[in-house]
Amino acid sequence: MSVVAVWGYGLAAAAYAIFALYLLGAWRGGPPGGVLVVAAVASTAWALSAALVAWSPGVWLMRGAALLEVARVAAWYVFVLVLLHPPGTPWRRWPVVAVVAVLSMLASALLPVDTLVGGAEVAGKLLLGSFLAAAVLGLVLVEQLFRSLPRESRWGLKPLCLGLAAGWMFELYFFADGFLFARLDADVWSVRGLVHAMVIPLVALSAARSPSWTLRISMSREVVFHSTALAVAGAYLLVIAAAGYYVRYLGGDWGRALQMALLFAGLLMLGLIVGSGASRARLRVLVNKHLFPYRYDYRNEWLRFTQALSSADGELDLGQSVIKALSDLVESPGGGLWLRNGEGRLAQHSRLNAPACDAVETEDGPLCGFLAEREWVINLEEFRMGPARYGGLRLPDWLLQLEGAWLVIPLKSGGRLVGFVVLHAPRAPFEINWEVLDLLKTAQSQAASYLARMQVTEALIEARKFDSFNRMSAFVVHDLKNLVAQLSLMLKNAERHRDNPEFQQDMLETVAHVEARMRALMAQLQEKRSIDAARPVDLGALAERLRNVKRTQRPAIRIAVPEEGGAHVLAHAERLERVVGHLVQNALDATPEDGKVALKVNGGDDGFWTLEVADTGCGMTQEFIRERLSRPFQTTKDGGMGLGVYETSQYVRELGGTIAYDSEQGRGTRVLLKLPACRREASAMDEGLAAASPNTSESLRA
């Protein structure tokens, strides 16, 4: 066993020496890091002395090895105590206990020693007992360190605690066995150096995870990858060897032949796995995901991505913001965005630092089908070198010939391909690995949801525009119906009164009025807005104009307005005259010629003017008023459209007023409009401005 011990302790000394040199180069002045360097140096000296003892046993070498053992244990004690009591925290009883343990070990090591390993005589119960107590104390300190850590901070020191606990448990077993049997086990002692060398990776991992130690430790991904591959291959061969032994043991006469066949098959399978690029790539991704810190700070990347998307409110539209947000993740200068239209075709919607492209892709084309099914990010450089990696995908010629094209990123939301982004080559060489692809896939999902909502919003706005235009058209048609009714009534009376000069004058005024109203309606349809701006309107003058316009109809309209005038409300003159005209016309239509129709203006004291339209006509039921009157396309008149009352209700609410109906079937109807009054001073000033306008009279008449 001396050869095994020499090699074991020699390898441990080399490993600790390399670890100490690496720590010394990475140390930046932190107390934990400095103590760890001392502990690694002490472990190197101890392992080297033990190797010399195994090579050439001697009393003085054994004594020196024992003293270096005490120094090693003391250094690791100090390291754990520094972690257990950071600067600024009070020290407890554990340092005193550790000092007592180290002194007892030191005193025992200085006793006369005849032989240490393999002999019948052992250094003595005192020496073994002191080292046994030191192992127990080491376990207690590690346990205290782990328990003192907050749960969220245990991730960093968990490998260290595991490694030190395992090492001291081995020491506990080794010295307990020696204490019970009064001799040290030579086999266990020979592998002791290798056991402690196995702790080094765990200590290094905790050092890398703990910046507070002020050690800049980083592990080479290539070294870890090859080490992991070697460990996996070794474990695989051990499993094959065990299976071969089992087959040979139970196989009888065929056992040896089956064992050889199994070993050959296992080695052949190992060769296939080792030579497989896909297997190596999966192992590399596994190592990078679980053994190394991530390439990106995902919180910062997500905040940056969200901020980039929100820049659509500034100089960039949403499509350009999506391109910029995705391109910033991979250092790309820009690219183009293709979005689906209503016909299922994908055309360029936006571009950023890229030329325009007229290429159009169909929804059922090979590119869109591949992006929708696989959701892969297509690397065009990789595709050109090995198209087989993409499962026989055939890219369109325009994409392969597009200058600077680099990545094709699908945009999929709700299981549907919204579009795709073509990014241009980066400003500097940029490696595309699994982490970049995962980040792009996550980012594209959010970008696609933004774009999908944008398309839905645009479709809704367009639908609302059509709805608004249709509603306006319905109101215009309703007004045209009233104008046609006026012309029809004029033609009907023309047979009897065409020689009457007064009728002829009324006819000309009616035609002029109808012509002006039709021009105004045409302008309203073309401009899709109200003809005139809101301004103070005199309700008394409005009532006079309506009576004048309706003077040829029966019964005649009676009006009652304030004598001094000044019943002003802020409204659109055209619309207010039109909606009140609807109410007056409804009253005339519902009232026989011997009935009464009245138009009254009163109030003003409570900040509102009341415009009342009353008739003695057929009236309405309460059920009709409650459930149908203010809804569009509801009417009781033959040939009516049911829009006049609806438009009146909408407009009165728009002005901040109210409308109320008091009606009883067979007894007539009263409609009360309450509209906010405006100040007399503003009214006078606005009337002066209106008088200066050459089109005022025509506008009012219209």
Output the six-digit token pair for 518. Answer: 């039709």
462 part of a folded domain: no
Residues 6+ away with beta carbon under 8 Å from 235:
none
**What amino acid is encoded at 204 in this protein?**
A
Residues 263 and 347 in one domain: no
Segment (H or E) for 651? helix 644-654
For residue 346, give the 3-state DSSP assignment: strand
Instruction: Determine the average pLDDT of the residues in 653-671.
Output: 87
| In a domain? residue 363 | yes
Domain range for 667 is 534-682
How would residue 684 be classed by pLDDT, with cut points 50, 70 and 90? Answer: very low
Regarding whether 129 and 232 lie in a shared domain, the answer is no
Can you point out the beta strands (E) in 588-642?
Answer: 597-603, 608-615
Boundary of a domain, candidates 455, 474, 496: 455
pLDDT greater at residue 405 or residue 213: 405
Residue 619 has pLDDT above 90, yes or no: no
Alpha carbons within 13 A on the beta-carbon side of 386: 4
Question: What residue type is assigned to position 330 of the chain?
Answer: V
Domain match, 212 and 243 both: no
Name beta bridge partners: 558: 598
Residues 149 and 194 in one domain: yes
For residues 656 and 633, what is the distance between their CA atoms, to the nearest angstrom? 24
Whether pTM > 0.75 for this model: the answer is no
Q: Which of 229-233, 579-583, 591-595 is predicted with the least confidence, judged by mean pLDDT? A: 229-233
Six-digit token string for 234: 């070794």
Residues 81-106 as b or e (16 or more Cβ within 10 Å = b): bbbbbeeeeeeeebeeebeebbebbb
Which of 408, 438, 455 is at the close of a domain?
A: 455
211 & 260 share domain? no
User: pLDDT confidence of 549, banded at 50, 70, 90?
Assistant: confident
Per-residue model confidence (pLDDT) at position 101: 61
Q: 80-84, 120-124, 180-184, 337-341: lowest mean pLDDT where?
A: 120-124
Beta-bridge mates of residue 362: 345
pLDDT digits (tens, 9 = 90+) for 143-186: 888 887 777 667 778 888 888 899 889 888 888 887 777 777 88
295 — phi, psi (to 5°)? Answer: -70, -30
Per-residue pLDDT of 411-442, as tens digits, reads 998 888 999 999 998 877 777 877 788 888 88
Strand 405-413 relative to strand 378-379, pairing: antiparallel
Q: What is the mean pLDDT of residues 664-675?
A: 88
Statement: residue 18 has pLDDT above 80: yes
Does 412 lie in the same domain as 361? yes
Higher pLDDT, 335 or 104: 335
Question: What is the rounded average pLDDT of the residues 226-232?
Answer: 70
pLDDT band at 338 (very low <50, low <70, confident <90, very high): very high
Which pair of structure tokens corresponds to residue 687? 């009337």
pLDDT for residue 108: 56
The CATH number covering residue 84 comes to 1.20.1070
Same domain, 213 and 314: no
Instruction: Output the pLDDT for position 650.
Output: 78
Q: What is the pLDDT of residue 543?
A: 85
Phi, psi of 363 (to 5 degrees): -60, -35
State whether 23 and 148 are in the same domain: yes
Q: Which residues make Cβ contacts (< 8 Å) with residue 155, sequence separation at least 6?
A: 209
Contact call for residues 681 and 572 (beta carbons, < 8 A): no
Alpha-carbon span 610 to 567, nearest angstrom: 9
Q: Do the Cβ atoms of 557 and 593 come closer than 8 Å?
A: no
Q: Edge-to-edge strands of the sheet including 335-340?
A: 360-362, 345-352, 335-340, 416-424, 405-413, 378-379
d(CA 290, CA 688): 81
- Range with the lowest mean pLDDT among 113-117, 139-143, 313-317? 113-117
Residues 277, 305, single domain; the answer is no
Q: What is the pLDDT of residue 644?
A: 66
Structural domain total, the chain: 4
Residue at a domain's end among 404, 423, 455 = 455
pLDDT of 482 reads 67
* Structural domain contains residue 473: no
CA 424 from chain centre, in angstroms, equals: 24
Which has the higher per-residue pLDDT, 171 or 494?
171
Six token digits for residue 327: 């391109």
- Neighbouring CB atoms inside 10 A of 331's CB total 13
| Residue 159 falls inside a structural domain | yes
| Separation of alpha carbons 309 and 326, rounded Å | 9
Mean pLDDT of the chain: 76
Domain membership of residue 395 (yes or no) is yes
Of residues 118 and 277, the one with the higher pLDDT is 277
* pLDDT tens-place string over residues 442-453: 888 888 888 888
Q: What is the pLDDT of residue 478?
A: 62
Question: 215: which DSSP letter?
Answer: B
User: How many residues are listed for the chain in this entry?
Assistant: 702
The C-alpha atoms of residue 429 and residue 405 are separated, in whole angstroms, by 14
Dist CA 269 CA 501 (whole Å):
115
pLDDT single digits (tens) 512-526: 777 777 777 666 655
CA 23 to chain centre: 41
Half-sphere exposure in the Cβ direction for 355 (13 Å, CA): 7
User: Does some domain include residue 17?
Assistant: yes
pLDDT for position 436: 83
- Kindly state the average pLDDT of the residues 91-95: 57
Q: What is the 3-state secondary structure (H, E, C) of 53-111?
A: HHHCCCHHHHHHHHHHHHHHHHHHHHHHHHHHCCCCCCCCCHHHHHHHHHHHHHHHHCC
Q: Which of 18-22, 474-478, 692-696 has the lowest mean pLDDT?
A: 692-696
- Pair 271, 305 in one domain: no
